Amino acid sequence: MGNTLHEAIVSETTDDFVELLDQRTGLHIGFPRLNAADDLRAMLGDEFYRAIGQLGFFEDIAIAELRARQHEIRIRLQGEVRDDAIRGYGEFITKNVPYYRDTLKLDPSDLTGRDGLRRLPILARADLREHFNELLSDGVSYSDHLAEGRMVWTRTSGTTSERIQVPVDLDLDRVPPDYDRIWNLDHGDKIPRTAVLTTPRCSPTECWLSAATLEERTRFGTRLFMNSHIDIFNVPEAAIRTFVDELWEFRPDFLLVNPTYLQIFCSRAVSLGLDLPPVELVLSSYQYMSNLQRGVLGRLTGAPVYNIYTATELCGCQLGVECSHGNWHVREDHSLLEVVDDDGAPSEVRVGNLLVTTHANRLLPLARYKLGDLGRLSDAVCDCALEDWQCFELHGRASEALLINGERVTTRQFDAVMAFTSGVALYRCTQADENDLLVEVLPDTAGDLSVGAVAKTLGERLDCRVKVVPVQGFDAGPSQKFQLTRRA
């Protein structure tokens, strides 16, 4: 090890501080400057000088070894970032939000970090409805935000219960920082043009926009809300042709979609001999996307397909983003994530209930909000641009998990088994009895479907009785979404 900083290390020095950035890994650390000397060792002292040596700041070494050396300090530094976010959030909600200030009688000292956050009660969907007005912030002028175009009011889709009207913060970034590096794009600094297609209940096209022109459905010049349909398996041919024409006219970079809606719209377009414009990326959201759907969407659009995880009641905050390595990362500039068991105790390694704290949300601040989804924290080490953000697995809705032989089988776990089948474009599994599954399948036009082979694969891997039935479409649920798994 030499005593000269590697050429990839950028240093900045002030009278009181020394900052070092490793451009190979993005690690950014700072140290107090001990004196006015120009020599780095003298400025830092022997202890800190040895520390940066152990981090590989002087060496030209393999990137894998470099990341391994820096992994522990990155975890510690990111923990401090999370604690800082909670402190700032705590100061805001205990001053400006009646629910936390007056109902829970919290003080800023109650929220000095992750330990303090975990002592707060869990906020359930019923609590959100009951205390909605108290959860609105005294420190925000909602009328000014509306007039300035900084927020809109919308409604939740009603997947889990009655719909709730919530504000959406339009100031929040819709794409994560460094998204070019996250998804291997070459986009520069431009805002991606995005076409949005989802259920009528998740889209502004549910109301007056359904009869609006393309220009009227375009927000800020970069986001087009496509007209959806109440029955996607029976969309008129004219609507499909209009859908394709508008894509060609708008020429989006990204598609932000409910995966089932895009799958059916694009499949119909292809069957009509219509070419789709090229896009750089498909982002799936609004409902769980199966592995089979990912393959079909990639084939139909010719673009990589990744997941964005959010919920309407998070008011524009996102909870997760999938990187090009296939890892889901908590969107830590918006939210913090916990996993707890059914008794509310932390669940560090097992699948449990997801709790979200939207620390970037000032319109309807939610602390430890129980989404109704299942997931698991992951110790995956990722080398994408989001490597400091916690990795996790999304397992789907708690209400849609199966119970086979006394064991819970989540949507993610069932979908992992479906990935071993072939000839299936879309499916829905209904559990009729403890060990009886009815699996309806929409055949994939690009493959051969063997009902017997699908039933055999599922039955052997899940140790239960399986009946497979080919169908031409599915009925949507009350929220106009399509469940992959459900219990009758």
Tens-digit pLDDT profile for residues 207-261: 445 568 999 899 889 999 999 998 999 999 999 999 999 999 999 999 999 999 9
- CATH class name, domain 401-487: alpha beta
- Residue 427 three-state SS: strand
CA separation for the pair 358, 319 (Å, rounded): 8
Sign of CA dihedral 106, 109, 110, 114: positive
> Is CATH 3.30.300.30 what the domain over 76-397 is classified as, yes or no?
no
- Asked whether 6 and 57 are in contact (CB, 8 A), the reply is yes
- pTM over the 0.85 mark: yes
Start-to-end CA span in the chain (Å): 65
**Nearby residues of 148 by Cβ (< 8 Å), 6 or more positions away:** none
pLDDT tens per residue, range 386-441: 999 999 999 999 999 999 999 999 999 999 999 999 999 999 999 988 899 999 99
CB 423 within 8 A of CB 449: yes
- In angstroms, the CA 351 to CA 109 distance is 31
Q: Helix 451-462 vs helix 411-418: angle between axes, to the nearest 10 degrees?
A: 130
Is residue 45 pLDDT above 70, yes or no? yes
Q: Where in the chain is the domain with CATH 3.40.50.12780?
A: 76-397
Average pLDDT, the chain: 93
Residues of the chain with CATH 3.30.300.30: 401-487
